[in-house]
Amino acid sequence: MNILGISAFYHDSAAALVRDGEIVAAAQEERFTRKKQDFDFPINAIRYCMAEAGIAADELDAVAFYDKPVTKFARILETYFGVAPRGLRSFMMAVPLWMKQKLWIPLEIEKALERCDIKMPGDVYFPEHHESHAASAFYPSPYQSAAVLTLDGVGEWATSTIGHGRGNQLEILKDIRFPHSLGLLYSAFTYFTGFRVNSGEYKLMGLAPYGQPKYVDLIYDNLLDVRDDGSFRLNQSYFGYLDGLRMTNDKFADLFGGPARSAESDITEREMDIARSIQVVTEEIVLKMARYAHEITGEKYLCLAGGVALNCVANGRLLKEGPFEDIWIQPAAGDAGGSLGAALMVWHMAQKNERQADGKRDQMKGSYLGPEFSDEEVGAYLEQNNYPARKLEGEDWAQELARLIDEENVLGLVLGRMEFGPRSLGNRSIIGDARSEKMQSIMNLKIKYRESFRPFAPSCLEEKVGDYFDLDRPSPYMLLVAPVREDRCLDLDQAQDIRTRINQARSDVPAITHVDYSARVQSVSPDTNPRFYDLIKAFDDRTSYGIIINTSFNVRGEPIVCTPEDAYRCFMRTEMDYLVLGSYVLDKKVQPEWAEKADWREDYVLD
């Protein structure tokens, strides 16, 4: 049975294909349209999923959309009933879109399938938004039974849920409802500190370690009321998202001693302290919720999804201080993953098919669920365009790349299937030497063109994670933050100036050690990505360091590259030294001159 899962119309549209319970393909629309967080109907992602699965015109059995659109529309109308006569501008923006498109999902699906030459199946399903998230967390997890926690901005009404998964059954037990939302609270602070809502949240998280938690009491005393079980209500008199187009209002600004920071202006100590404070509050709420989920389900394991589950600092703390023996986080925890969850929900709950988890391995295939391109295809492309490249095979490939990294070159890497979710896990990555003191600054300013405070993540041989980090288990999806081992850290004077602090070497792997001596770890296994593993292993053999920097292959505001052509374009626009396309290695110095008519940076909206 082939089930197509779709998420669309909010942010990060995506499609996923599940065949007889197995995840065959999944991809975000932005990767194909090159429009960051594209929310249009994911026609290109659907076309890819169909091609990957080799589905003929009449072989699609069911489609699952990741939420219930009519309930969501009812919530929006009810919100206007709650705030009128305010809210006109938001109403005028939202309602025409709903009338034109969002209320006619089956029609949109039919049109999209027609464009892919696929016959519309008779069955179209609509699980709830948080059910889709919960399903994306529980069904692919290694656990036969687990508590399930979902946290995001808002779905239909729910903003957080606690669920219980057993075998093929998944039941949502409790929820917290709009407008009280941990995701929206975090987004409000993202907005207030001058970053873009729905994309700048991870910057706020990255900024937090630079500050002090000065505003924690202020937040608890004024903005929210939290119970011991982690449930909470937000004091709506400080927020603007119910009736306007801003996340916070003037009262919120007065509380924090001035207006919101404007985008791209200097980051001050206030923003750092605010970032740290809301991060602390978020972590405390997540911990309380997890304890309560443990209490009411009695489970040993926890599965997490929803946008807030991408807060890997909170995840790291949950693993360390929480009541669960282990946790599993859906790598595409945001709305994109809802497409996968919806399809799995249909397979297990609507179709009542059994599920067997082995307690060890998850079903995500390393999250390498996107398109891949053969060496033949890449070779033909390079030849046609006269791009000089060397083809390396066998052990030479890994050894040569290890040498290039050791010489402090920055490499763009395109291997195998593209990752599903916001993290690059070695197949669409920019990599470099984690031992280099100048690498963080080079990568941020000359390659990614992004804010200098932002940290880089390490990819580490799975068996060596414990040698570098205070972490006793794999972290294959880069969703856990762990401290760098104390014996690797250097004592520093705590300089106040952010630039001074960024440039200080903090450990023997300075490029991946954040200011609080932590790192967002990816452990690399030979089972899920043998080529990437071989590369790091070769680097380890050469340098005795089984660890490298790994950041997503894009520049600021650009979606992660998908095809070798996207990668070549990004490579030539930045100061990367080498590009690796499968077995082909391209040296920037010998490439033909790259000319563009317009300033390409204008193509991307800064996040």
Partner 1 sequence: MGELQDKMTGDSDNADRLRRVAAATWAWRAAGQVTEAPREAGTVRPALIQVAVMLVIVAILYHFEHMLIVKIVLVFATVSLVCGLFIPAAYRRIEQFGQFLGVMVGSGLTWILLLPFFYICFTIGRLSQLIRGKDPLHRACPTDDATYWIDRQPITRDDYYKRQY
Other C-beta atoms closer than 10 Å to the C-beta of 383 total 10
Q: How far apart are the first and last CA of the chain?
A: 39
Residues in CB range of 105: below 8 A, 6 or more apart: 65, 69, 124, 126
C-alpha closest to that of 390 among 175, 146, 587: 587
Give me the 169-208 binding string for partner 1, x by CB under 8 A, dash otherwise.
Answer: --xxxxxxxxxx----------------------------
- Please say whether the beta carbons of 330 and 304 come within 8 A: yes
Span from 229-237, 254-262, 497-505, 519-527 in contact with partner 1 (CB under 8 A): 229-237
CA dist 108 and 110 (Å) reads 5
Q: Assign 330 to helix, strand or coil.
A: coil
Say if residues 148 and 163 touch (Cβ distance below 8 Å): yes
Judged by CB under 8 A, which stretch of 49-57, 267-275, 494-502, 545-553 contacts partner 1?
49-57
Please identify, using beta-carbon distances, which residue of 38 and 52 lies nearer to partner 1.
52
Give whichever of 284 and 377 is closer to partner 1, judged by the CB atom: 377
Contact by Cβ (8 Å): 403, 370: no
Q: Which segments of 366-431 does DSSP mark as H helices, in order?
A: 375-385, 395-406
Burial class (CB in 10 A: 0-12, 13-18, 19+), 129: buried
Between 181 and 444, CB nearer to partner 1: 181
CB of residue 495 to partner 1, shortest distance in Å: 40
Stretch that binds partner 1, among 75-83, 300-308, 330-338, 585-593 (CB under 8 A): 75-83
In the set 195, 232, 301, 368, which binds partner 1 (CB under 8 A)? Answer: 232
Q: Which of residues 347-366 bind partner 1 (CB under 8 A)?
A: 349-350
For partner 1, the closer CB: 66 or 215: 66
- DSSP one-letter code for 489: B
Provide the minimum distance between the beta carbon of 218 and partner 1 in the complex, in angstroms, as a whole number.
16
Query: Least distance to partner 1 from the beta carbon of 120, Å?
Result: 15
Size of the site for partner 1 (CB under 8 A): 73
Kindly tell me which of 32 and 545 has the beta carbon lying closer to partner 1: 32
Q: In 349-396, which ranges are E strands?
A: 390-391
Q: Minimal distance in Å, beta carbon 314 to partner 1?
A: 19
The least distance separating partner 1 from the CB of residue 456, rounded to whole angstroms, comes to 28
Distances (CA, A) of 344 to 124, 141, 218: 13, 12, 42
CB of 385 to partner 1, least distance (A): 8
Do residues 148 and 294 lie in contact, with contact meaning Cβ atoms separated by under 8 Å?
Answer: no
Q: How far apart are CA 586 and CA 572, in angstroms?
A: 11
Between 171 and 437, name the residue whose CB sits nearer to partner 1: 171
Candidates 83, 120, 255, 489: give the one binding partner 1 (CB under 8 A): 83
If phi > 0 it is left, if psi is from -120 to 50 it is alpha, else beta; for residue 507 that is beta
Mark residues 19-48: x for contact with partner 1 by CB under 8 A, - for none: -------------x-----------x--xx
**494: how many CB neighbours lie within 10 A of its CB?**
8
Q: How far apart are CA 166 and CA 147, in angstroms?
A: 9
CB of 333 to partner 1, least distance (A): 21
The residue among 92 and 595 lying less far from partner 1, judged by its C-beta, is: 92
5, 21, 42, 87: residue in contact with partner 1 (rule CB under 8 A): 87
Using the structure block, give the residue that is written with the tokens 């179709």. Answer: 351
Three-state secondary structure of 123-134: EEECCCHHHHHH
- Considering the rule CB under 8 A, would residue 88 count as an interface residue with partner 1? yes
Site for partner 1 in 91-150 (CB under 8 A): 91-92, 95-96, 105, 123-127
Please count the other Cβ atoms lying within 10 Å of the Cβ belonging to residue 46: 31
Q: Is 233 in the site for partner 1 (CB under 8 A)?
A: yes
* Residue 280: closest CA among 162, 193, 185: 185
Of residues 185, 336, 515, 562, which one binds partner 1 by CB under 8 A?
562
Exposed/middle/buried for residue 103 (C-beta within 10 Å: 0-12, 13-18, 19+): middle
Helix, strand, coil shares of the chain, percent, nearest 5, are 40, 20, 40
216 binds partner 1 (CB under 8 A): no
The SS3 call for residue 582 is: coil
Residue whose CB is less far from partner 1, 413 or 460: 413
Query: Whole-number minimum distance, CB 406 to partner 1, in Å?
Result: 32
Which residues, 378 to 417, sit near partner 1 by CB under 8 A?
380-381, 384
Does position 489 interact with partner 1 (CB under 8 A)? The reply is: no
Q: Which is nearer to partner 1, 503 or 591 (CB)?
A: 591
Q: Does 151 bind partner 1 (CB under 8 A)?
A: no
Cβ at position 143, least distance to partner 1 in Å: 21
Residue from 284, 326, 377, 408 that binds partner 1 (CB under 8 A)? 377
Task: Please tell me the distance from the alpha carbon of residue 546 to that of residue 407, in angstroms, as a whole number.
Answer: 16
Q: At its nearest, how many Å lie between partner 1 and the CB of residue 440?
A: 32
Binding mask 242-281 for partner 1 (x = CB under 8 A): x---------------------------------------
Binding status of residue 236 toward partner 1 by CB under 8 A: yes
CB 583 within 8 A of CB 375: yes
Identify which of residues 212 and 374 has a Cβ nearer to partner 1 in the complex: 374
Q: Does 565 bind partner 1 (CB under 8 A)?
A: yes
By C-beta, is 378 or 548 nearer to partner 1? 378
Q: Are 409 and 577 in contact (CB under 8 A)?
A: yes
Q: State which of residues 20, 117, 217, 225 lies at the interface with partner 1 (CB under 8 A).
A: 225
The tokens 């979606």 sit on which residue?
559
CB atoms within 10 A of CB 484: 25
* Given 229, 284, 516, 607, the residue binding partner 1 (CB under 8 A): 229
